[in-house]
Structure 1
Amino acid sequence: MSRTDHTLPPRPGRLRNRLFWIGFLALFGWCLYDFGFSPQRIWQGLGRLGNVLSFMFPPHLWTEWVQIREILQGLGETLAMAFLGTLLGALVAFPLSFLGARTINRMGWLRFGLRRGFDVIRAFETLILALIFIRAFGLGPLAGVLAIAVGEIGVLAKLYAEAIENSSARPVEGVRAAGGSVPQGIRIGLLPQVMPVLMSITLYNFESNVRSGTILGIVGAGGIGFLLSDRIGAYRWDEAWSIIILIVAMVYLIDGLSAWIRMRLIRP
């Protein structure tokens, strides 16, 4: 037997590998066929995409104060939606996270029910929640705020609970050994450990919600996304690209500011 024969997997293993790759390639090819992929269609789409991108430069500049105020108001609404939605979600998720943490809540049935409730909330995409709240409360930023807030309850409560579970129990035990109560152990021994982590998680989600707020505006929840959808629907691509550039700039500034605040919280 040659040396290379020892490196080959057994015959059943080679057969499974071949069947796996044959199935993978067959599934990949079927998806391309079913979704209408073809070289001609891709080439034509790239041509139309280039035509759309040609409106990007030079960027459109608004010269009338009425138009500038409309754009600034849209950016402000998107930022406010993300801020209020994240804040409301964090306020509700904070106490729920203690009930969902294994190290705090010893009642397994309650903890299990809360964790599954967090999963149910996270199963609904923010866009779906926005459509539901638009139907209930009408068009405007209120629906966007509620959609972000409800979505954040499930996400933040889970992340907060995991941060609490990963904290050290020794400071809490030290407070209890000194005669402190359970609330005092949480306040003195636990919160100083987890608060920087919780703030970092909240700031990161706020950044994400700024981007989500743009999408929510497209479906009627107000903000800069509504103006962007209006410009695209009217084929005013030059203005649409200018709005996109402003959105990117706003997200970039918020990301930089949030990263600076997180570093200050983690390493004061």
Structure 2
Amino acid sequence: MNNRVNGPAPHSASPLPPLGSERLASVAARHRAHFETSWRTRFLAGGVIAILLALAVVAMIRLEVTPDRFLSGLSRLGTFVVQMFPPNDEGKFWFFVKALAETLAIAFAGTLTAAVLAAPVAFLAARNVIPNVFVRFAVRRGLDVIRSVDALIWALVWVGVVGLGPFAGVLAIICVDFGALGKLFSEAIETTDNRASEGVLSTGGNRIHRIRFALIPQVLPVMASQVLYFFESNVRSATIIGIVGAGGVGQYLAELLRVLDLPPLGVLIFMILVTVAVIDVISSRLRLAIIGQPQRP
């Protein structure tokens, strides 16, 4: 009895020995289905890859994508870049600064307004807030319809409605971001922890208290992080929509490209790149601070 009690520890307590070639072959033989891929699976995978490659080739042929055109395009692009040097603003520097500030204002006003409008609507699209499937379906499809139209199309629409200028650009960004942020906010609300909501309801709280004290504290950092990211993206979008007359620096870009006045175009592009880089650094640090992650060096 003593030998049994004081004997060596059970074999399960010791670490498993590494698998040798013979042991590995034995395991593979017993579990052949996990180590071998059937010919049917290989055939299907190869067929899918072949179909995708064939579609890509057909698309390139129909769209007239040829190596000659690509190489000639790169050559012309190189010529444009060379002609931008040395950069020369030709006395338009402060006009560029004013237009760039207008672009930032368009992006900021559009993003902030869209976030304020999308936040309450997102609760109507969340499954854990609105159990009525018909209401939720209608709100979700409405958000999908709005965000399915590109910002450039919205800008063209609003230019025709309210006229040229930054107001049309702000309205275009509001429309696009309202649908996108509403969808993202609703998904963030649906992923919240239900235990906080149950705790609020168990203490006598109603649905409003549940949203205020259980859901909003959980999703607010995520919402703020998403709004910052959209602002960063909308700075670039506001640059593009200005080409169709929706205000901002895009009007100067379109004019300089139309007449191939490349030295001031180089100055303007450099200003846009610096502005976007600075905003990217600041917004990244703010997002990390909001969601509670340590700052990266």
What is the TM-score when the length of structure 1 is the normalising length?
0.89
* Match 2:210 to one of 176, 185, 201: 185
Preserved contact between residue 166 and residue 248 of structure 2 (Cα < 8 Å)? yes
Q: How do residues 217-232 of structure 1 correspond to structure 2 at under 5 angstroms?
A: 217-232=242-257
- Partner Cα separation in structure 2 for residue 192 and residue 18 of structure 1: 49
Aligned amino acid, residue 33 of structure 1:
I
* Match 1:49 to one of 77, 81, 96: 77
RMSD of the TM alignment (CA)? 2.1
Aligned amino acid, residue 127 of structure 2:
R
Could you tell me which residue of structure 2 aligns to residue 3 of structure 1?
none
Could you tell me which residue of structure 2 aligns to residue 81 of structure 1?
106
- Partner Cα separation in structure 2 for residue 203 and residue 26 of structure 1: 41
Q: Which has the larger radius of gyration?
A: 2
Could you tell me which residue of structure 2 aligns to residue 169 of structure 1?
194
Aligned amino acid, residue 83 of structure 2:
F
Aligned residues: 260
The worse-fitting range, judged by mean Cα deviation, of 102-111 and 12-21 is: 12-21
Unmatched runs of 5 consecutive residues or more in structure 1: 1-5
Could you tell me which residue of structure 1 aligns to residue 290 of structure 2?
265
Over the matched positions of the two proteins, sequence identity in percent amounts to 41
Instruction: Sort the Cα spacing of 1:166 and 1:138 in 2 relative to 1 into closer, same or farther, 3 A.
Output: same
- Partner Cα separation in structure 1 for residue 71 and residue 89 of structure 2: 32
Instruction: Sort the Cα spacing of 1:229 and 1:185 in 2 relative to 1 into closer, same or farther, 3 A.
Output: same
1:123-164 per-position Cα deviation (integer Å, ceiling 9, x unaligned)? 111111111111111111111100100111111111111111
1:59 aligns with 2:84: no
* Match 1:248 to one of 273, 276, 279: 273
* Match 2:221 to one of 189, 193, 196: 196
Could you tell me which residue of structure 1 aligns to residue 151 of structure 2?
126
- Partner Cα separation in structure 2 for residue 130 and residue 72 of structure 1: 22
1:139-194 per-position Cα deviation (integer Å, ceiling 9, x unaligned)? 11111100100111111111111111111121222122122222122212221111
User: Secondary structure of 2:245's match?
Assistant: helix
Aligned amino acid, residue 56 of structure 1:
M
1:234 aligns with 2:259: yes
Could you tell me which residue of structure 2 aligns to residue 71 of structure 1?
96
- Partner Cα separation in structure 1 for residue 171 and residue 154 of structure 2: 8
Q: Which has the higher helix share?
A: 1
Could you tell me which residue of structure 2 aligns to residue 158 of structure 1?
183
Could you tell me which residue of structure 1 aligns to residue 66 of structure 2?
38
Could you tell me which residue of structure 1 aligns to residue 30 of structure 2?
none
The worse-fitting range, judged by mean Cα deviation, of 51-60 and 246-255 is: 51-60
Deviation of 1:61 after TM superposition, in Å, equals 4.2
Aligned amino acid, residue 159 of structure 2:
I
1:213 aligns with 2:265: no
Instruction: Sort the Cα spacing of 1:43 and 1:97 in 2 relative to 1 into closer, same or farther, 3 A.
Output: closer
1:20-74 per-position Cα deviation (integer Å, ceiling 9, x unaligned)? 4544443333222222233433332222121101023333245x4xx22211111
Instruction: Sort the Cα spacing of 1:50 and 1:99 in 2 relative to 1 into closer, same or farther, 3 A.
Output: same
What is the TM-score when the length of structure 2 is the normalising length?
0.81
Aligned amino acid, residue 111 of structure 1:
R
1:139 aligns with 2:164: yes
Instruction: Sort the Cα spacing of 1:178 and 1:21 in 2 relative to 1 into closer, same or farther, 3 A.
Output: closer
Aligned amino acid, residue 272 of structure 2:
I
Could you tell me which residue of structure 2 aligns to residue 117 of structure 1?
142
- Partner Cα separation in structure 1 for residue 146 and residue 257 of structure 2: 32
